Structure 1
Amino acid sequence: MEGRVYLVGAGPGSPDLLTLRAAELLQQADVILYDQLVPVRILDWANPQAERICVGDLPGKHAEKASQIQQRMVAAARQGKRVLRLKGGDPLVFGRGGEEIAALRAAGVPYEVVPGVTAALAAGAYLEIPLTHRHFASALAFVTGHEAPDKAEPPINWRALAQFPGTLAIYMGLCRLPQIVAALLEHGLSPDTPAAVVSRASWGDQRCVFARLADLDQARRQAGLESPAVILIGPAVGQRTPQPWSEQRPLFGQSVLVTRPRHQAAGLIRRLEQLGAIVHHWPAVAIREPEDFSELDAALDALAQGRWDWLVFTSVNGVHGLLRRLWHKGGDLRTLSKVQLAAIGPKTADALHEYHLRADLVPEQTFSSEGLAAALGPRVAGQRVLLARADRGRELLREELLRSAAEVRQVTVYRQTDDEPPSPQLLQALRQGNIRWITLTSSNIARRVLAFCDSPIRQRIRQGEIGLVAISPETGSVVRAAGLPVAAEAEVYTEEGLIAALIDCVRKHRGIPADSPKAVPTEPKVENAPKEEE
């Protein structure tokens, strides 16, 4: 197979701004060389088997690193590998893409260039700054604020830029902002020209400052804005919207820790990011297959023989675990033709739909063991019930159903195990109060999270500086039993209910009246979104 290099723009930061082609290539790549400013979240789209190299970790200075990057790209492509060179923004807008293309051409390596959303365009869109405007700006100029010291061409013509009939978008210029402002003023640009500095455009922690050109550096310093940032200068900047849509999102600027298992977290993370949150992820538990399948295999044989009247699923993981094993054993849906199916909630019922199965019973309102027991109890009198569940969990459902059923048996279809401990960086962020909210989507996850909450973290929880948001009263009770407060509890025990509880809690802390309109974007359908937890 012929190797190929792909120079790909990762966009300005928000994973939602990654192009479809970029996401496709990430999934196919064998080797990924990515810039230090590329968010780690972007790599969630990557092929799990791909070799990942952060070019910022390579030894040497910029020039030495550039040579190493080119050598690695060429060497890997010659081995027949698909090499992804992932750059922040657009690869050909101050991304040294031209130099890397020249190296690939000289080596005779085939390549492709995939554009990305550059920072200035993201700043314009997320802050509603019209970079061009029929009445104020007929042109847009991308300018570097940091020229190469060995550049052969003449330096930037600030006289011409001061007379430019449009908007200046200056990259990598924050450390030289006083000199840039002085040069533009010296060559005749009005000190009253509208200007802005936008840091981390499109991220949840996006920050900006607006000022007249003459005051821009002072305003930037007072606001504490640091790189990466883009500087925007021109009359059109003054036409900005005072309250842009991005900062009106209900979770804008809120730092949230998601603790769902790795394979279930993507939907919740994306939803929170779309609502404006800065999301951290630590999978507190992992979902794994049973160590011994003999009990599950015997239960599947009994189902095929019609020995059970009801098969009850208490989570999405239970659905996938049982039906994957059924297929592995050589069975199919005909095995379940003689049994009625019950699901703990609509998301678990949706998982059954993926296998073209329809739940015969789903609780109408309370998606918990209590709700399922109340709905199913009257239907199973004198019947045999098989519960497909995790290896650890509450006994309430079995005990309640035994009041009327002839037999109730539990079979383990998946295990919940402790995943890797949180990183030292994550624990430090919690100790310093840099994470505002922690979502808890099951009792087992709550216990695992609390086990790592040391005295400084618990003190912040007690003082309300870190809020614990629980998916149900059952999960909340684990927190209260540990002597800690629950900031919010979902009224509907689903992911959507959890998000709604978090939004209400944030609104309360911001002092927004409960009866004011809730500007919550319509939730998109997310593939493989996480569901009710057992």
Structure 2
Amino acid sequence: MKKNGVVYLVGAGPGDPGLITQKGLKRLGSCDALVYDSLASDYFLDEVPDHCRKIYVGKRAGAHSMKQEEINRLLVELAEEGLNVVRLKGGDPFVFGRGGEEILTLSEAGITFEVVPGVTSAVAALSMAGIPVTHRAVSRSFHVMTGHTLSENGTLPPDFDSFAKLSGTLVFLMGLSNLSLIVNGLIKNGKPEDTPAAVIENGTLPEQRIIRGTLNDIESRAKQAEIKSPAIIVAGDVAALDFSSTLNLPLKGCRIGITGTQSFTGRLHRELAELGGMTDSVLSLSIDSYRSGQAMNEAYQRLQTYSWLLFTSANAVREFFTGLFEGGYDLRSLGAVRFAVVGKGTENELVKYGFHADYIPDRYQVIDLAKGLKPLLSKEDRLLIPRSSGGSPELNRVLDEAGICYDDIVLYDVALKKKEQEELGNALLPLHYLTFASASGVEGFFQGETEKILGLLSRLKVVCIGDITAKALSRYGREADLIAPVYSISGLAEIICQDWCKEKE
């Protein structure tokens, strides 16, 4: 009899992907199936293993993808298949997340479960807006109510009068469409018209907006500002306070779409996040490895015949050494071989295996690697170039002209995972920048209806890591707005920072 899996109810936090817990990320990194709602960031979808089944059950007002009862049954069915399942919810599973209903169904079916709490927007969105839910001598308590079902039958719930009379901070989640009902209900039940109030749109996200006022005018202010859902309503004296962060990171308020392999996008995400930016994965590239194929096996067997190893990417470094060790070899097999790499990021990967590069070009492009290496080579040298199938032919051209002997072996291929057209449009809509780190990433992105994709790019800036990537982009009729002068993750981050700071001046 197959053993049942475990269901983990994980809170994704209030929107900013950096606010998920470490435990939540750990559960994502080891699950077999992911059942998720509409999320503020797709970052979490790239944190699951490659084999993980991703099942969208998103629920938005008026557009329910799957009924709650169906979700409950789905969790049971997946666990009975022996899968470890993450049920990912925005905020916290128990703060209007219907996590309790799912647990009741799991318990009845005898399925083991774990709850991983999440940061709730009822606190985090206010904090990011500079509003403390409690403050000494101002508010000694806070109270949270869902505003989503307030207008059922056009009336307030029976206990609203008691809620309105509470002291402290009153917080309404998912209640923007019922703002008038809420404000009038608070005033009718005794709250003074001059009670401070605020509405927070897209809390914790780069596009967050805060409208402040009083119960008397907050509705007209929100309407004038064209505030849209998702939004949180706050009423109470603390809404007059502004404890907004004074740390102005260079990419604060900036939202950046990233493309590339999981390793690359993970490093780029971390660098941009440290600068205050928020990232969304728009296109993922995965690696199909040929490190155990015949060509590489033969190359590993004759490693002592090579004088130079050329690496044109960090992926090539990882795949080469993984294949070396899997084949029963160790570092002694490399003897006195010298290493040439295309850039600092590739060298950093090489250092992890105990080697420093003997040559790095000043400009991190394959053509510069070839031209700079040529004077260091003689006719007696023999080079091994393990790289992707889409490697630049410029390297071969320069070496052929110099009469250098080399073996250019396909070590891996890049497979594309791109969003559907409608999803892509939604993903690009809130972005300020979109980054490309390779020509293959550009080509994968433009698979489909080029004209529609170009239209989607019209309102944002496109950033390329180098000239070759920019040329690939121009072939599709779109010029790069920015090209990183240093062809690395740091170079991409630096040029975006410079441009974003100019935009804010």
Give the TM-score band, short-chain normalised. Answer: 0.7 to 0.9
Normalised TM-score (structure 2):
0.85
1:384 aligns with 2:381: yes
Could you tell me how far apart the structure 1 residues matched to 2:114 and 2:213 are?
41
Instruction: Assess, with a 3 A threshold, how the Cα gap between structure 1 residues 342 and 30 changes in structure 2: closer, same or farther.
Output: closer
Letter of the 1:98 partner, please give it.
Answer: G
352, 355, 362: which one aligns with 2:353: 355
140, 145, 148: which one aligns with 1:143: 145
Once the two structures are overlaid, the 10-residue window that deviates more, 45-54 or 465-474, is 45-54
Tell me what 1:281 maps to: 282
Tell me what 2:164 maps to: 161
Could you tell me how far apart the structure 1 residues matched to 2:246 and 2:234 are?
19
Could you tell me how far apart the structure 1 residues matched to 2:80 and 2:414 are?
42
Flag structure 2 segments of 5+ consecutive residues without an equivalent.
none
Listed as ranges, the matches of 1:380-419 within 5 Å are 380-386=377-383, 387-400=385-398, 407-417=404-414, 419=416
Could you tell me how far apart the structure 1 residues matched to 2:101 and 2:416 are?
43
SS class of match (1:28): coil
Letter of the 1:494 partner, please give it.
Answer: S
Tell me what 1:293 maps to: 293
Percent identity, aligned pairs only, is 31
SS class of match (1:411): strand
Listed as ranges, the matches of 1:495-510 within 5 Å are 495-510=489-504
Could you tell me how far apart the structure 2 residues matched to 1:460 and 1:425 are?
11
SS class of match (1:282): strand
Instruction: Assess, with a 3 A threshold, how the Cα gap between structure 1 residues 206 and 271 changes in structure 2: closer, same or farther.
Output: farther
Instruction: Assess, with a 3 A threshold, how the Cα gap between structure 1 residues 383 and 224 changes in structure 2: closer, same or farther.
Output: farther
Listed as ranges, the matches of 1:226-237 within 5 Å are 226-237=228-239
Shift of 1:273: 5.2
Once the two structures are overlaid, the 10-residue window that deviates more, 74-83 or 310-319, is 74-83
Tell me what 1:192 maps to: 194
Instruction: Assess, with a 3 A threshold, how the Cα gap between structure 1 residues 196 and 393 changes in structure 2: closer, same or farther.
Output: same
Contact 1:94 1:144 in 2 (8 A): yes
132, 145, 151: which one aligns with 1:130: 132
Could you tell me how far apart the structure 1 residues matched to 2:80 and 2:293 are?
45
Tell me what 1:440 maps to: 436
312, 315, 332: which one aligns with 2:313: 315
SS class of match (1:214): coil
Shift of 1:333: 1.5
356, 365, 369: which one aligns with 1:368: 365
Letter of the 1:409 partner, please give it.
Answer: Y
Contact 1:32 1:50 in 2 (8 A): yes
Contact 1:272 1:279 in 2 (8 A): no
Residues 249-302 of structure 1 show CA distances to partners (whole Å, capped at 9, x for unaligned) of 54455453323135532332454456334524123x654334993333333222
Instruction: Assess, with a 3 A threshold, how the Cα gap between structure 1 residues 37 and 217 changes in structure 2: closer, same or farther.
Output: farther
Tell me what 2:173 maps to: 171
Normalised TM-score (structure 1):
0.81
Residues 77-107 of structure 1 show CA distances to partners (whole Å, capped at 9, x for unaligned) of 4555434333221122222233334444455
Contact 2:319 2:412 in 1 (8 A): no
Could you tell me how far apart the structure 2 residues matched to 1:338 and 1:93 are?
61
Once the two structures are overlaid, the 10-residue window that deviates more, 117-126 or 477-486, is 477-486
Letter of the 1:394 partner, please give it.
Answer: S
SS class of match (2:356): coil
Shift of 1:126: 1.8
Contact 2:10 2:118 in 1 (8 A): yes
Shift of 1:118: 0.3
Tell me what 1:332 maps to: 330
Instruction: Assess, with a 3 A threshold, how the Cα gap between structure 1 residues 508 and 480 changes in structure 2: closer, same or farther.
Output: farther
Contact 1:8 1:87 in 2 (8 A): yes
Instruction: Assess, with a 3 A threshold, how the Cα gap between structure 1 residues 366 and 508 changes in structure 2: closer, same or farther.
Output: same
Once the two structures are overlaid, the 10-residue window that deviates more, 376-385 or 447-456, is 447-456
Shift of 1:426: 5.0
Tell me what 2:10 maps to: 8
Letter of the 1:6 partner, please give it.
Answer: Y
Tell me what 1:66 maps to: 68
Could you tell me how far apart the structure 1 residues matched to 2:100 and 2:418 are?
42
Could you tell me how far apart the structure 2 residues matched to 1:451 and 1:80 are?
36
Could you tell me how far apart the structure 2 residues matched to 1:423 and 1:318 are?
29
Shift of 1:384: 1.0
Could you tell me how far apart the structure 1 residues matched to 2:86 and 2:494 are?
38
Taking only aligned residues, the RMSD between alpha carbons, in angstroms, comes to 3.6
Could you tell me how far apart the structure 2 residues matched to 1:81 and 1:417 are?
28
Contact 1:12 1:200 in 2 (8 A): no
Shift of 1:474: 3.3
Could you tell me how far apart the structure 1 residues matched to 2:258 and 2:345 are?
19
Contact 1:443 1:475 in 2 (8 A): yes
Contact 1:295 1:411 in 2 (8 A): no
Could you tell me how far apart the structure 1 residues matched to 2:325 and 2:32 are?
31
Instruction: Assess, with a 3 A threshold, how the Cα gap between structure 1 residues 486 and 336 changes in structure 2: closer, same or farther.
Output: same
Contact 1:313 1:342 in 2 (8 A): yes
Could you tell me how far apart the structure 2 residues matched to 1:409 and 1:256 are?
40
Residues 383-415 of structure 1 show CA distances to partners (whole Å, capped at 9, x for unaligned) of 4141333333334344445676x6331422434
Shift of 1:174: 1.7
Could you tell me how far apart the structure 1 residues matched to 2:86 and 2:392 are?
47
Could you tell me how far apart the structure 1 residues matched to 2:145 and 2:376 are?
71
Contact 2:32 2:85 in 1 (8 A): yes
Instruction: Assess, with a 3 A threshold, how the Cα gap between structure 1 residues 271 and 239 changes in structure 2: closer, same or farther.
Output: same
Tell me what 1:425 maps to: 422
Tell me what 1:473 maps to: 467
Shift of 1:493: 1.0
Instruction: Assess, with a 3 A threshold, how the Cα gap between structure 1 residues 278 and 347 changes in structure 2: closer, same or farther.
Output: closer
Once the two structures are overlaid, the 10-residue window that deviates more, 19-28 or 493-502, is 19-28
Once the two structures are overlaid, the 10-residue window that deviates more, 375-384 or 115-124, is 375-384
